């Protein structure tokens, strides 16, 4: 079952993950619908902050998907500067902390009251802290991934963050089970959070090749604007896939690709332009040897 489109915000399509719909149904059955609706409102402001920050940085947001404790924004321009990614990612948690501080100040001044105030404050605090965890698809995970990609390339960076995320998800499930075993306390929020991280990590791993392709395309634009980029070299065997080559590239560098035969003798030296044309013509799963057959 795919995400359900519910409308548009600032011209951007908004979809809801099926897990969030399940959580809403469970909350209604448990008499907690009011609290979940407050959480949903906080979630929308969280994603609006990401959207606003992305546009302020000159990026295009094609779609926003709402998850139980966060969201995923399809920001066009993968492989951009890690500092830009950090600004966009931090905008969501920062928005929640600002709303929390403002509501506390207004409450203490006697200008804000009502039964919805404590859930609103708790939801903002939980949203900020949870999204700063170093796991995908959370904001903390996106910041960590952005900086690791520069040093290790998309595939290795995603693998590192995926391991961290799955460890955190397993810990949440274990905590929920222990709470039920020892204190008979049901913690569906921990299970939903673990499911969010596990599903988001899997999706990121599946799309890492596509993200690498987007990075190649975006890098051409950065080179055109800046006029220069540092150069890195990759040495690959002819039986490697174009996906493997693209995923090994660092976003901040332009790559020269030295291709070796099975006897480790040099066959050719290409660059990112050749690789991009090969991916567009042959697909990500084609072999480097097929790229050589394309010629110029």
Q: Active-site positions? A: 47
Cα within 13 Å of Cα(239), Cβ side:
4
DSSP state of 110: T
Separation of CA 143 from chain center: 9
Using a CB cutoff of 8 Å and minimum separation of 24, what contacts does 273-276 make?
A: 273/220, 275/216, 275/242, 275/245, 275/246, 276/213, 276/216, 276/217, 276/220
Show the 3-state SS of 189-255: HHHHHHHHHHHHHHHHHHCHHHHHHHHHHHHHHHHHHHCCCCEEEEEEECCCEHHHHHHCCCCCCEE
Which positions ≥6 away from 165 have C-beta within 8 Å? 134, 135, 136, 141, 197, 198, 200, 201
Token pair, residue 186, equals 């049901």
- Find out whether 100 and 89 touch, Cβ atoms under 8 Å: no
- Find out whether 229 and 254 touch, Cβ atoms under 8 Å: yes
């Amino acid at each position: 079952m795919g995400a359900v489109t519910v409308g548009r915000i600032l011209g951007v399509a908004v979809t809801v993950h099926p897990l969030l719909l399940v959580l809403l149904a469970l909350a209604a059955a448990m008499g907690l619908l009011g609290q979940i609706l407050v959480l949903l409102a906080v979630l929308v402001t969280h994603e609006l902050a990401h959207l606003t920050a992305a546009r302020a940085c000159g990026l295009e947001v094609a779609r926003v998907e709402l998850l139980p404790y966060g969201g995923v924004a399809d920001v066009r321009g993968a492989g951009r500067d890690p500092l830009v990614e950090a600004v966009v990612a931090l905008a969501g948690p920062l928005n929640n902390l600002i709303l929390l501080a403002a509501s506390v100040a207004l409450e203490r001044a006697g200008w804000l009251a009502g039964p919805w105030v404590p859930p609103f404050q708790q939801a903002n605090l939980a949203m900020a802290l949870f999204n700063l965890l170093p796991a995908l698809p959370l904001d903390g995970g996106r910041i960590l991934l952005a900086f690791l990609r520069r040093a290790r390339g998309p595939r290795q960076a995603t693998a590192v963050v995926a391991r961290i995320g799955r460890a955190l998800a397993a810990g949440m499930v274990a905590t929920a089970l222990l709470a039920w075993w020892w204190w008979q306390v049901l913690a569906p929020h921990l299970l939903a959070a673990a499911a969010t991280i596990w599903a988001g990590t899997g999706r990121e791993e599946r799309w890492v090749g596509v993200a690498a392709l987007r990075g190649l395309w975006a890098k051409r634009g950065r080179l055109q604007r800046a006029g220069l980029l540092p150069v890195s070299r990759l040495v690959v065997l002819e039986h490697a896939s174009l996906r493997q080559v693209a995923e090994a590239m660092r976003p901040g560098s332009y790559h020269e690709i030295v291709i070796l035969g099975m006897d480790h003798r040099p066959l050719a030296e290409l660059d990112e332009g050749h690789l991009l044309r090969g991916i567009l013509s042959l697909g990500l799963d084609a072999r480097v040897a097929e790229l050589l057959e394309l010629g110029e």
